[in-house]
A and B are shown apart, each in its own frame.
Chain A
């Protein structure tokens, strides 16, 4: 149980394009979803927290207009990287949780490469 599916697993696109990443909880309703960014050989850095039906809460230093997060249902959250540039290349990981003090269940990540 508690499976989180993240799609796509890998995307390569040209600079200036926008990329959407989906995060789905397949067998549970996720009150809260989290988006992380991971640079090579580094730890996960929380980008934002999203609650279903509410605006996402972004961490300090994360541009909300650059990284658009939508959490329209209890099973789906999306992260859109707008006008992507090479410095946005990274591994993006989502997680979903049933609620406060419940463990986070992670997706398999999306490797984004901007040329």
Chain B
């Protein structure tokens, strides 16, 4: 079985500050890991994915995430927050059989001016 835990349901940062959203996973097999962003009343947009290649993954909108097997983590970072980054962020892991996703509880990012 696979699971994802996102630490912190709400994160607030100032505009221009570092963004760090935490994700820890549990998986009995090498995982595929994803970060998605959801704006209000919209579906999910893929930010980036880890598929067993480079451990540091760069995504869209200046986001990146680092896969750390020893820590079973896949934290999402962005050096400088922008107001438009305010949204809900979901970390997800694929199940063993194919690409069915298991989502974390989500983290709402708020950006203060």
Contacts and interface: CB of A to CB of B under 8 A. Distances in A.
Given A44-B90, A101-B32, A93 B99 contact: no
Nearest to A45: B103
Contacts of B44: 44, 93, 95, 106
A43 B42 contact: no
Contacts of A29: none
Contacts of A91: 41
Given A108-B42, A108-B43, A109-B43, A44 B99 contact: no
A104 interface: yes
Contacts of B41: 9, 91, 108-109, 111
Interface residues of B, number: 22
Contacts of B29: none
Interface of A: 4, 6, 9, 32, 34, 42-44, 46, 49, 91, 93, 95, 97, 99-109, 111
A104 B99 contact: yes
Nearest to B4: A43
B105 A106 contact: no
B94 A106 contact: no
Most chain B CB neighbours (cut-off 10 Å) among A46, A95, A97, A103: A103
Contact of A42 (B100, B102, B105): B105
Interface string B19-31: 0000000000000
